[in-house]
Amino acid sequence: MIADFRGKTAFITGGAGGIGLAMARAFGHAGMNVVVADIDEAAARAAVERLAAEQVKAVPVRCDVSDRAGVRAAALEAVAAFGKIHIVCNNAGVAVGGPIGTVGERDWDWIVDVNLKGVVYGVETFVPLIRSHGEGGHIVNTASMAGMISPPGMEPYSATKFAVVALTEGWAAQLAPAGIGVSALCPGFVRTRIHESGRTRQDKYGGVSEVDALGQGASEAAQAVLSGIDPDVVGARVLEAIKAGETYIFTHPNMREFVAMRFAAIMAAFDLAEQSPALKAVKEWTSPIFGSSQEP
């Protein structure tokens, strides 16, 4: 856990706008140096200029999180600029959705490579660097409320965000002994440009697109995003959650009921399993991970 943010350094992917820029602003106002990493170099430079006007010390770095070598190169630039990295926010993300069978192969590759593999590359690149200075640190992986519930038509997005939550839970246990916290940021609707993420879509995934493959609910999804909360509220929430060592960072407590409904359905399924005639023959349940228990 980081007790004092002053003089520490944060590296933020997707840092040129939206939640990324809001986190950069919150960290900078807390006395941190900030590395604004983004695939859009011009946007990253503009963000750094805005931060400088607020007395935040920041540098721009180009970073395509779908490219492991590119993430490593960005990390080297960050170290060259500020020496040690303490907080890493794997925040870059894109959105794809649609009815079954309508999501293209390159759409799947794009969203998995950015939303999921980008988080893996960020953690595997920066954890050794944080370990090396021994001052502790924190990793924030941007998931979503879609990492807790899965709205119909948004399965590609939800699948990647569920995976980010799963990774975060396991890594939090692994890295706690090293003094490195790990959190999953699960916001609801926030005023960002996630519905326009095709504007920076790489050529290998089909190139720039003015309209994302959000399926039949594209306009409704865009309106929900544009009606969301201010990103700066999320930035402040992340800062307080890191201070408190929270694993799950929620920004929309009004969405609790949807998660509760999902958990209730899961518990009901366990009740059915307990009553299952097919499972009566099992006298003891064993697992190398969870241990053993007697038949209920």
Q: Note the pLDDT tens digit of each residue in 3-19.
A: 899 999 999 999 999 99
Q: Is residue 134 part of a domain?
A: yes
Q: Quick one: pLDDT at residue 292? A: 52
Q: Is residue 14 part of a domain?
A: yes
Task: Examine the domain organization and report whether 188 and 264 are in the same domain.
Answer: no
Query: What CATH code is carried by the domain that includes residue 61?
Result: 3.40.50.720
Helix (H, G, I), strand (E, B) or coil at 65: coil
Task: Examine the domain organization and report whether 223 and 116 are in the same domain.
Answer: yes
**Mean pLDDT score across all residues of the chain:** 92
Token readout for 220 is 């409704």
Q: Is residue 1 part of a domain?
A: no
Q: Quick one: pLDDT at residue 187? A: 96
Task: Examine the domain organization and report whether 217 and 128 are in the same domain.
Answer: yes
Question: When comparing pLDDT for 261 and 293, which is higher?
Answer: 261
Q: For the segment 7-65, what is each residue's pLDDT rounded down to a tens digit?
A: 999 999 999 999 999 999 999 999 999 999 999 999 999 999 999 999 999 999 999 99
Task: Examine the domain organization and report whether 238 and 263 are in the same domain.
Answer: no
Would you call 157 a catalytic residue per the annotation?
Answer: yes
Does residue 216 surpass a pLDDT of 60?
Answer: no
Q: Is residue 3 part of a domain?
A: no
Task: Examine the domain organization and report whether 150 and 264 are in the same domain.
Answer: no
Q: Parallel, antiparallel, or unpaired for β 9-13 and 87-90?
A: parallel
Task: Examine the domain organization and report whether 274 and 199 are in the same domain.
Answer: no
Does residue 217 surpass a pLDDT of 80?
Answer: no
Residues 6 or more apart whose Cβ sits within 8 Å of residue 82: 9, 33, 35, 59
Residues 6 or more apart whose Cβ sits within 8 Å of residue 29: 54, 56
Q: For the chain, how many structural domains are there in total? A: 2
Task: Examine the domain organization and report whether 243 and 284 are in the same domain.
Answer: no
Task: Examine the domain organization and report whether 208 and 246 are in the same domain.
Answer: yes
| Beta-bridge partners for 190 | 229
Task: Examine the domain organization and report whether 64 and 180 are in the same domain.
Answer: yes
Q: Which stretches does DSSP call E strand in the chain?
A: 9-13, 33-38, 58-62, 87-90, 137-142, 180-186, 248-250, 284-287, 291-294
Q: For the segment 76-103, what is each residue's pLDDT rounded down to a tens digit?
A: 999 999 999 999 999 999 999 999 999 9
Task: Examine the domain organization and report whether 264 and 137 are in the same domain.
Answer: no
In terms of residue numbers, what domain contains 53? 9-251
Task: Examine the domain organization and report whether 56 and 31 are in the same domain.
Answer: yes
